[in-house]
Amino acid sequence: MFEIFVEESFAAGHALRGYKGKCENVHGHNYRVRVTLEGETLDGVGLLYDFVHLKRVIQQVIRALDHRFLNEFPPFDSVNPSAENLAKYFYEQAAAQLPGVENGVRIASVTVWETDTTAATYRPSPPAR
């Protein structure tokens, strides 16, 4: 099994609803996002997936969020913009946009860092066999 990942970063503000503590107030993060792909088979060049394409997909998702107040941006106007929910959002957006995923390549996980030492990972449930 091979894995590759690409990381990108963006800045955004958020406030956690229903949370008692510092994070209920409006504040910002320099978020980092890592999207990891996995698969068994390399292409003729020896790649699992082209980094350039994966980077483009992540940047496209980021474009909508960068320098925004996440609480005003759907689905985060109703879903809390926690690192966990952001990771799931990135997974869903990237999965919908990944062009030409073949050879059984799939998104293994998405990790979103709020700070250098705090992060959340979303991993889809394995397909039922």
| Closer of 41 and 118 to Zn ion (Cβ) | 118
Interaction between residue 23 and Zn ion (CB under 5 A): yes
Q: How far is the CB of 68 from Zn ion (least distance, A)?
A: 14
Closest CA to 58 of 96, 13, 12: 96
Measured from the CB of residue 12, what is the shortest distance to Zn ion in angstroms?
A: 10
CB of 27 to Zn ion, least distance (A): 6
Q: Considering only 17-25, 40-48, 72-80, 97-105, which stretch makes contact with Zn ion by CB under 5 A?
A: 17-25
Q: Is position 120 an interface residue for Zn ion (rule: CB under 5 A)? A: no
CA 80, CA 91: separation in Å to the nearest integer? Answer: 16
Closer residue to Zn ion, CB minimum distance, 82 or 93 = 82
Q: Which among 18-26, 59-67, 91-99, 116-124 is the span making contact with Zn ion, rule CB under 5 A?
A: 18-26
Q: Which residues of the chain form contacts with Zn ion (CB under 5 A)?
A: 23
